[in-house]
Amino acid sequence: MFFVLLLLGVFGVKRAVSLLKEKMIFPRSGEVHYEELSDRGSWRLILAIAFVAVLGLILPEQWSQIPLTVGVIMMLILIYMGYQVGLRLLQIAALVPLAAAILAVALEWGDVLGTISVFVGSGFVLILMGIFAFRHFLSENPKNAEGQ
C-alpha cells in the first residue's frame, strides 16, 4: 500500500505541477527554462554530513535523538536551497525545523512525535512561503489578454 501511495504521489504531484504551470504560470510569463546547476557544491554536502555526525557524537544522550538530527538536516537542506535560489528568507526559515527539534527534545516528546513536529513545522513554513511567493508572482504578472 505504501508503494502505491508513493508512486501515486510522485507521478500525481509531477502531473499536477506541470498542469499548474501550464494553466497559471506560462500564460503570464512564458515558459520557464531552468539553468543547469554545477556540481561544485558537493563539498558542502560532505561538510554537512560530517557536522551532523560530529553533533551526534558530542551531544549528551538527551540531545542526540532522532528529532534533533532530523531538525539539523532539514535546517541544512533549507539553508542550501535558500542559497541556491538566492532567498534569504528561506535561509532564515531554516531555523524553524531546528527550533521544533529543540523544543521536542526539551519537552521529551520522543522520537516519533518529535520528528513529526519537525516535519509539520517545516511544512507549515514552506507552505506559507509558497503562498506568499505565488501571490507576489500573480500580482507582478497579470494574465495576458491573448491567453484568456
Closest CA to 90 of 100, 71, 75, 102: 75
Length of the chain: 148
Residue type, 138: L
- Alpha-carbon distances of 26 from 29, 86, 120, rounded to whole Å: 5, 22, 31
Cell of 12: 500525481
C-alpha cell at position 8: 501515486
What is the tens place of the pLDDT at every residue in 13-70?
777 777 777 776 666 565 655 555 555 666 766 777 777 777 767 777 766 678 888 8
Predicted TM-score (pTM) of the model is: 0.61
